[in-house]
Structure 1
């Protein structure tokens, strides 16, 4: 205690002691640094860890935003594709003078030997048995049964379906029969002398008053003239996208509209 007091008095009274104090401060500085180093290191590591956690949280948030954005982009692409299909469908309806109504596919008959679709419009929406069904590229089939809210459509490729057609190039009339194959129709009773060739477009002839006249049905893919047969074998591929289209058109010919008007009057 006494020694400490004497050193304090000497520090203030004698100038050489100030130099000693300065030297001691310099000598003690590294020790102070070493003593303070753990705390500074801990503080630095803690700050770095907090920054890392913040960066990880921000990264997770950005990844979630990217996923949401990608989902929106995918939905946008789907909506754009649907918009294109609807525009094509609208354009196809403008080719016809008949009454048309848009509808949508909601089901497919699971039996591979029965080519039928179910659409989301029925008698409550004005659908009638016999109406033709089209997509943006051609004739798909016709309505064969209706309920208040849905209708059943028989496709042109069903083995029990037939549609009157004509060759667009020459006007040759025939009937295209379904073969139970989504990619093929067959023309029956075509004489060898008739002018028909691969690539010819078959359009609906309007005969039978069920299908609108002049709408694409199929393109000829095979013309086989066998002298041993009475008629030429002709196969054609439907122009409609029977396995792909979801947005469809229901068509009423003028004859069907007249019949419906008469039934309504009764």
Structure 2
């Protein structure tokens, strides 16, 4: 029995030595397995992070789109509210209309509104936003109308300088406005406001048209060299006011009529 016990102790000690000596080999043998296992875990984590990142980006894009849509709706509501207030306080006879379509060409000078002859809209009616004059109704259907902008090359608007009362004509010029024949012996300053003079049957007096951004006289010319900018947001409005013509007359304003009216007014 004593002999067996001694042998068992020797075997046990030998086994411990052998296990200790073989451990580095076992560790090295397990490394490829550990590397593969760790790599798979790392790749799985990376895939999860990539999926979460894509999901967060999609949610962020969606939130940005929703915010943008809310801003557009808010802007449209503010625009509509301002027009309604203007209609109630200053132009009770005017009608609020929605712009339902516009030309795909950014330089186009017309758009369509959702009011027509069934709403007593007439060809020649003035159209404005809450800032100023936008254009004139040039074609009327039962449930819609076409509006031509004041920047159209055919547009001529009887105007006056708000500060001095001097009358003049504002011309459309294919996307901008032109003050061609303002006399050099009259006063015209930068930031002067041009408004409708009311010297016709179409535009009520006092609607803002444009501001003067540059005014130069001299050089032997009888007229100012002036640059003006429209007051109205010609291409950013969603709602407009349609202002009926004075005396209910229907007419398309022309350059000849404008010159005739202006000359008569100056003679008076």
Deviations 1:139-167 (A, max 9, x none): 11111013355432211122211112221
Count of aligned positions: 243
Partner of 1:7: none
Partner of 2:49: 58
Partner of 2:91: 97
CA pair 218-44 structure 1, distance change in 2 beyond 3 A: same
Deviations 1:67-109 (A, max 9, x none): 3313431551454255236425532552332323142262237
Partner of 1:21: 11
CA pair 248-207 structure 1, distance change in 2 beyond 3 A: farther
User: Distance in 1 between the 2:139 and 2:115 partners?
Assistant: 9
Kept in 1, the 8 Å contact 2:122–2:137? The answer is yes
Residue 55 of structure 1 aligns to a residue in which SS?
helix
1:234, CA displacement in angstroms? 4.7
Deviations 1:7-49 (A, max 9, x none): xxx7x97221221122122123143673476457525632541
Does 1:197 pair with 2:192? no
Task: Judge which range, 196-205 or 115-124, deviates more.
Answer: 115-124
User: Which structure 1 residue ranges, 5 or more long, are not aligned?
Assistant: 1-9, 261-266
Partner of 2:151: 157
Residue 103 of structure 1 aligns to a residue in which SS?
strand
Partner of 2:253: none
Kept in 2, the 8 Å contact 1:226–1:232? The answer is no
Does 1:169 pair with 2:169? no
Kept in 1, the 8 Å contact 2:83–2:240? The answer is no
CA pair 233-15 structure 1, distance change in 2 beyond 3 A: closer
User: Distance in 1 between the 2:162 and 2:132 partners?
Assistant: 14
Kept in 1, the 8 Å contact 2:133–2:207? The answer is yes
User: Which structure 2 residue ranges, 5 or more long, are not aligned?
Assistant: 251-268
Residue 14 of structure 1 aligns to a residue in which SS?
helix
CA pair 54-102 structure 1, distance change in 2 beyond 3 A: farther
Kept in 1, the 8 Å contact 2:184–2:221? The answer is no
| RMSD over equivalenced CA pairs, Å | 3.6
User: Distance in 1 between the 2:98 and 2:17 partners?
Assistant: 93
Kept in 2, the 8 Å contact 1:85–1:136? The answer is no
Kept in 2, the 8 Å contact 1:204–1:212? The answer is yes
Partner of 1:186: 179
Mapping 1:69-84, distance limit 5 Å: 69-77=60-68, 79-80=70-71, 83-84=74-75
Partner of 1:34: 25
Partner of 1:249: 240
Task: Judge which range, 152-161 or 209-218, deviates more.
Answer: 209-218
Task: Judge which range, 30-39 or 50-59, deviates more.
Answer: 30-39
Kept in 2, the 8 Å contact 1:134–1:248? The answer is no
TM-score by length of 1: 0.72
1:226, CA displacement in angstroms? 5.7
Q: Which protein is bigger by CA-based radius of gyration?
A: 1
User: Distance in 1 between the 2:191 and 2:221 partners?
Assistant: 24
Partner of 1:134: 128
Partner of 2:37: 46
